[in-house]
Structure 1
């Protein structure tokens, strides 16, 4: 990823971006051709005007004048058609390229480790995938080809000027160095300014996204004023960044306009004197130079403006390619397909930490036999959920080994491994879609009939049918239209229809009402039958029925055994935990 912000243009980055246009090379060349035609038709009109004035109007040749006026009209129509084709296909090419890059980016992000998302702002990632992509598209639609077209027009104009009158050309060309120097300074300044603009846009998006997502917390703790003031600070930085670009524009464009006006004045003054004196400069040439000087300077101003667009697109491309270059994916070098697992799980001396030099698990070892249900208990932060994350390979262990059916989980293909493990989390995530699609996750192999039968099997079909639209009920973003208990039931059904070999319940009944818990307990007995199940326990009923209980403390397994065995250990960790936490629960039942 390029980091040289002071460079006016990064050709290495541009070359990389152009590789994504190769599948559309025919359209690319067609747009380039229409850019040439636009320039030629634009320059033809003032030259035809010169001929019309000098050869026909001054000689009062009415028929010849009409012919050249018609010819200018034809050139105008051809120019309009070329311009229309140029704009449409340049935009089509830009949108096609960013579609491909956006798909590539999203596919790349789908494979990132959970650690990457732990350390990344969702708002910034959304900015990269949406706003920055649009800026990249503008490189083609409003930047690159526009600049090429304007440069071609300038070269053709300069050639026609020299061919017509080198004296008047010198007057025009004498002003060019000033414009070119100002344009160069403008480009460099805008590169730095737009880098800051994109950074502030990302910060603004991130802040707004997080506060809207957490609005309940903001209002619950009456942080409206604090967040309002913080938003004002971020918005002020965003405004300042944009005003810097406005300041550069407000300097450059008046300078360019002033230079253009001075040039026209000099052309009229000198050309008029030479025409009156009967010199080799004719009146038509003066008309042509007035129009062509505008055609020479206007593209310079437009090039500077389009270069702004190009710079913003390049800054955006730099950020997007930065994500594409990020190596944060779980290695998927396994060759064994995890089909029809028995469910024997083996942890041996597993060490792991989310941060470097900060271990969460300190040499965890345990075994789970096929068909067993084990419960994991312990205080918050003991490492219970971490075990689940490692079993699914959301994170890589530091050392040790994890095996399923005597095969190291690294030897399984990642998709097949995760496809045989179903997880029900305490914090259920539902998409803004129908209940049916939230259950089958749009897997074509899971039909609506199968979902209905599964729901009946675990006793929640009636609950779903009681909702407006039944299985077609849209739960809205994050499932806000359902209670926490109802969301848990949907998540349970989602796990059940996937027909997993290993089931994981991560405190899945810790925040549900008694009715929903009763339904889930019934579903648990149904779904765990004949399957290896790991339950991060939070309720007494689950613990009592487990074949084995693992008691964790500070990243270590301190005790293991059945409920009855652990209660017989005098002064044991589990017995103390049971007396403090679970007996109180038992008394309320």
Structure 2
């Protein structure tokens, strides 16, 4: 229940539907009870047990409401017959039909209003969960499976929705039905009702024993579902590798092992859940059996209860069974939903270590320099950067080179604040980037990565991510600067051509040029190029290199390069080794030093 208290905040915008649902449920429970009580007059008329009564009875308070009701019925039937009206039976039938009609009408209205609440809560949780998923730092997902996150957004939220409905019924509808029914039963026979209530705690205890392990079982099911969704996601992403290495059987086995575990967990969960209905119904029938024995004695031996009232009483007692079963099922559903809510709230309540400070500034321009001052950083245990310092003046291009693992790409991750430094500081125009709003910091930067990250959409919409308000002419101009217009204009629908999942319809060089066009359209003062040409063939590299040179004109650039031929014109080249600076200078200066840089150039000249 603790998790549902936290989930309840999502219901606030839809509280009017909750109020209307509660009102409808009150009338549903009231007419549900009256529909059973209305059978009593019918039985009295059928059995001919109505005693003639010509004087209207006097109300003497709730303590004698049963006697008053019975006398008023006798008076009503007597009056009808005195008037020569023999349609008393039709009236009684009409009364029963009306009460059942009103019961079902308000039952429908209750479900009608709760639909808006359920679906509204579902929508808002999913929206907030997606927003949180996007806002959490990249480091959060380095240990998480994508499929598990997908499972939480889809399946777990849906489970909360179903449980949310159940808990509202648990709180309002079914308890009210039981309450009104019990009141009516007390009015008919307090002695018989007290006798019945001796058995209810026993029934409740037996039902609770079944539900104790449901949350744990449900948690296992949801976690396993997240795991096999991850396998599916990884399979689709790496299909070329799987087929290329004939690894289909390896992944099929891994998926089959997961679905087998899911099969066992699901069977265990559903079998426990399915036990709830039969158990509660059997215990209810056992209570009815005791009632028949004890109440039958009151009617036949002691004459303490009218036979018609006893039949109505039995109907009321059975009337409790349906809401009681619903409550037991709802309680199991809540236990399942509790596990889902826990998984959803784990993400929603995760505090981002990179969130903006309360007094974070908005920076809209870049005027002087980027300064990386004596920073150290580690992803886990070992330092990736050690006491690293670098100054990048406005309008200059600085290239970072070195072997894999030397810390080049880490610099890009820290400058864009995908991660925060452990020691030291990074500043832009003497402003520590941790004191700036992340959105304004990244607004000053354009990023082109080694992996061309494109989306299953048109060329135009992929480019517009750089500037959603740009015109078609601006998009075409960006494509020309990126050396991409030459192939885009020949596509079936030009810039409105869908490029497929992850740009799968394009070559590597074409995808990279679209990534550059996206950065060009953004037109930021600072460009960060993270090995933008390392995955390309020589011809594509030449085209992309021209595009990069076009883009870098009059811009401040940090270029992370594997291929040294692409950065020879940089204003400064920094050679990195094991997280530290080994050498720095221009291409000519570094060659003259006859050090690490020259060895790297010579090695690549033979590739």
State the Cα deviation string for residues 315-357 of structure 1 (Å, max 9, x = none): 22222222222112414236443333146222221111111x4
For the residues of structure 2 that align with 1:69 and 1:375, how far apart are their CA atoms? 91
Q: Secondary structure at the match of 2:574?
A: strand
8 Å CA contact 1:54, 1:282 repeated in 2: no
Stretch moving more, 199-208 or 24-33: 199-208
1:354 aligns with 2:344: no
8 Å CA contact 1:17, 1:317 repeated in 2: yes
Q: Secondary structure at the match of 1:549?
A: strand
**Cα–Cα, structure 1 residues 219 and 285, in superposed 2: closer, same or farther, change >3 Å?**
farther
For the residues of structure 2 that align with 1:147 and 1:214, how far apart are their CA atoms? 49
1:327 aligns with 2:351: yes
For the residues of structure 2 that align with 1:279 and 1:339, how far apart are their CA atoms? 91
**Cα–Cα, structure 1 residues 15 and 457, in superposed 2: closer, same or farther, change >3 Å?**
closer
- How far is 1:426 from its partner? 0.8
8 Å CA contact 1:264, 1:290 repeated in 2: yes
1:520 aligns with 2:544: yes
Q: Secondary structure at the match of 2:199?
A: helix
- How far is 1:453 from its partner? 1.9
State the Cα deviation string for residues 16-50 of structure 1 (Å, max 9, x = none): 22233223222211111111111111111111112
Q: Which of 3, 6, 10 is 1:20 aligned to? A: 10
Q: Which of 512, 519, 522 is 1:488 aligned to? A: 512
Q: Secondary structure at the match of 1:374?
A: strand
Stretch moving more, 361-370 or 387-396: 361-370
Q: Which of 490, 497, 501 is 1:466 aligned to? A: 490
Stretch moving more, 424-433 or 457-466: 457-466
Aligned positions, number? 572
For the residues of structure 1 that align with 2:602 and 2:340, how far apart are their CA atoms? 58
Divergent runs of 4+, >6 A: none
8 Å CA contact 2:466, 2:522 repeated in 1: no
- Pairwise mapping of residues 446-461 of structure 1 onto structure 2 (< 5 A)? 446-461=470-485
Q: Which of 161, 186, 195 is 2:185 aligned to? A: 161
- How far is 1:303 from its partner? 1.0
Q: What's 1:52 paired with?
A: 42
Q: What's 2:144 paired with?
A: 120
For the residues of structure 1 that align with 2:382 and 2:30, how far apart are their CA atoms? 67
State the Cα deviation string for residues 467-526 of structure 1 (Å, max 9, x = none): 121111122322222222211011000000100111111111122244432322221221
Q: Tell me the C-alpha RMSD between the 2 structures.
A: 2.3
- How far is 1:176 from its partner? 2.1
For the residues of structure 2 that align with 1:34 and 1:78, how far apart are their CA atoms? 10
Stretches of structure 2 that go unaligned for 5 or more consecutive residues are 51-76, 78-85
State the Cα deviation string for residues 59-115 of structure 1 (Å, max 9, x = none): 597622211211121112212221111112112112212322332333333322221
Q: Which of 244, 261, 277 is 1:237 aligned to? A: 261
Q: What's 1:152 paired with?
A: 176
Q: Secondary structure at the match of 1:54?
A: helix
Q: What's 1:312 paired with?
A: 336
For the residues of structure 2 that align with 1:297 and 1:283, how far apart are their CA atoms? 22
Q: Secondary structure at the match of 1:512?
A: coil
Taking structure 2 as the reference length, the TM-score comes to 0.88
8 Å CA contact 1:94, 1:139 repeated in 2: no
- Pairwise mapping of residues 98-117 of structure 1 onto structure 2 (< 5 A)? 98-117=122-141
For the residues of structure 2 that align with 1:57 and 1:212, how far apart are their CA atoms? 74
8 Å CA contact 2:479, 2:514 repeated in 1: no
For the residues of structure 1 that align with 2:511 and 2:47, how far apart are their CA atoms? 84
